[in-house]
Amino acid sequence: MYFPVMRGKRNELIALRELAPLVSDKSFKPIIEPVRNNFSPLIRTIDALNKYKIIPIVIINPCMGDFNDNDLNIINDLKNDSLELDISFTPCVKVTSPAESYKSIIDSINLLQFPEKAVYVYDDIELDKIDLLSDINYVIINRYTPFKVLDQLNNIVLMDDPFQKKNKNADYSHKSFFSDLHMSFESCHSKVIGFGDYTIVGNNYSESGGPAFVVTIHLSYIDEEYDFMYVRHFSSEDDKTPTNPGGKFRQALDKVIQLLNSSQSSFIESNGIQELKILHEGGHFPGLGVIKKISMKHHIETICEYLNR
């Protein structure tokens, strides 16, 4: 199963709502990290996923965006704000602090009697914390966790951050290797039940992007020879100014369409690809945030399509 991490920004949540009818609940369980203290869009997203039997994992002690520098457990706010919709989600504790601080949050999950619970051990796991994870349904840990530690855990989700993010869009080459975890996760250990990543966004969080000297469209694909995942980077010309993002998007999109119309394309015909074709036909620039949303959707659809083969 695939567990992509999605920050709870507007376009990320829209992407999840649009993906809900497109991917199978047997292969897709998103991990949502809230970044806004207005929970209404998040609750609508969970409800949309639930309609297709997808139960997302929601981090209940977020530390980014509106929750930066806050030691906050939002589980009661989520429960109170969602009473009318009766949504279902799996609460997740993100462990970035000593065992004493997150043990209390795990205890609070137990008191609320959720059917499942998750823990995301963000840094290297310490052996003296393993006992706290014995009853956890989803133990999300670093892909490169030592085998000795994996032996002592259950229900393991291997998390990776393989997107090779550049400081400037002009620095992206033609393509970059992404990962082989989608094809190898089951062989990593008998207790591994899934894997995850941060799609084509990467783990580093920012409220907004910088000036668009170059516009780049990132599109993932599975290599037909070895089944490795790569990302193609379609970039506009660099005119050394941050002006005319719409024109630069058109330059990058023309390159996408040119490849799609050739015999060299390895992209699946995802909903994201269909959106790009519609934008090309209409000559519309929807904004850079929407372009990133489309790339995230295509990435997730590509992995889920592979898992469903």
* DSSP state letters, the chain: -B--EEE-SHHHHHHHHHHTTTS-TTTB--EEE---S--HHHHHHHHHHHTTT---EEESS--SGGGTT-----HHHHHHHTTTTT---EEEEEE-S-HHHHHHHHHHHHHHT-S--EEEE-SPPPGGGGGGGTT-SEEEEETT--HHHHTT-SSEEEE-------SSGGG--SEEEEESHHHHHHHH-TTEEEEE--TTT-S---SS----SS-EEEEEEE-TTT--EEEEEEE----SSS--HHHHHHHHHHHHHHHHTSS-------HHHHHHHHHHHHT----HHHHHHHHHHHHHHHHHHHHT-
Regarding beta strands 229-235 and 175-179, do their DSSP bridges make them parallel or antiparallel, or are they unpaired? Answer: antiparallel
Q: Give me the average pLDDT of each 10-residue run along the chain (309 residues).
A: 97 98 98 94 96 97 84 78 83 78 74 87 81 91 93 96 94 96 96 98 84 94 96 95 95 98 95 98 95 98 97
Domain ranges of the chain: 1-159, 169-177+203-309
Whole-angstrom distance, CA of residue 98 vs CA of residue 246: 47
Q: Does domain 1-159 have CATH number 2.60.40?
A: no
pLDDT of residue 70: 64
Helix H, strand E, coil C: the string for 216-243 is EEEEEEECCCCCCEEEEEEECCCCCCCC
Compute the Cα dihedral for 83, 52, 156, 125 and give only its sign: negative
- Kindly report the pTM of this predicted structure: 0.95
Q: At what angle do helices 288-307 and 271-282 cross, to 10 degrees?
A: 150
pLDDT of residue 162: 97
pLDDT of residue 101: 66
